[in-house]
Amino acid sequence: MGDIESTVTRFPRAHRYTLGSDLRRQVMAVTRLTHKAWRDRENRAGWLAQLDEAIDDLKLRMQLGQQVHAFASFQQFEMLARQAAEIGRQCGGWRKQRNVNGQNGTASGRPQRPSILSSQAASAEARS
């Protein structure tokens, strides 16, 4: 997300110091939260929840910038939007990784259902 700095410097003056500052701050927040989630394994779930919210806020601010034509071109917006989406996918991957413990792991503390729900003998017993 280092491209945000060069992008914001090309914003029209009316947006450079308002929306541009917001985008810079939000990118820094996403960067800090990513680092904290990576380093602090004990509290990773909390950091990931905050990171997910920060990424959504960043995307929202970027969409606002596109709507008010702050970006020099749509390609510039699209490049940053793809980077934000990639960070969002990585955050989602971390969250999934935390919720699965192996091939047949439990996602929410509940065991998975067996693939065969009943046998022929159990079905015969149930009918009698």
Where are the domains positioned within the chain?
3-100
Q: Which CATH superfamily is domain 3-100 in?
A: 23S rRNA-intervening sequence (1.20.1440.60)
Residue 124 has pLDDT above 70, yes or no: no
Tokens of 120: 């022929």
Tokens of 42: 């004990």
Q: What is the pLDDT of residues 11-67, one digit of tens each?
A: 988 898 899 999 999 999 999 999 999 999 899 999 999 999 999 999 999 999 999
Q: What is the mean pLDDT of the chain?
A: 83
Polymer length of the chain: 128
Rg of the chain taking only CA atoms, in angstroms: 23
SS3 letters across 48-116 = HHHHHHHHHHHHHHHHHHHHCCCCCCHHHHHHHHHHHHHHHHHHHHHHHHHHCCCCCCCCCCCCCCCCC
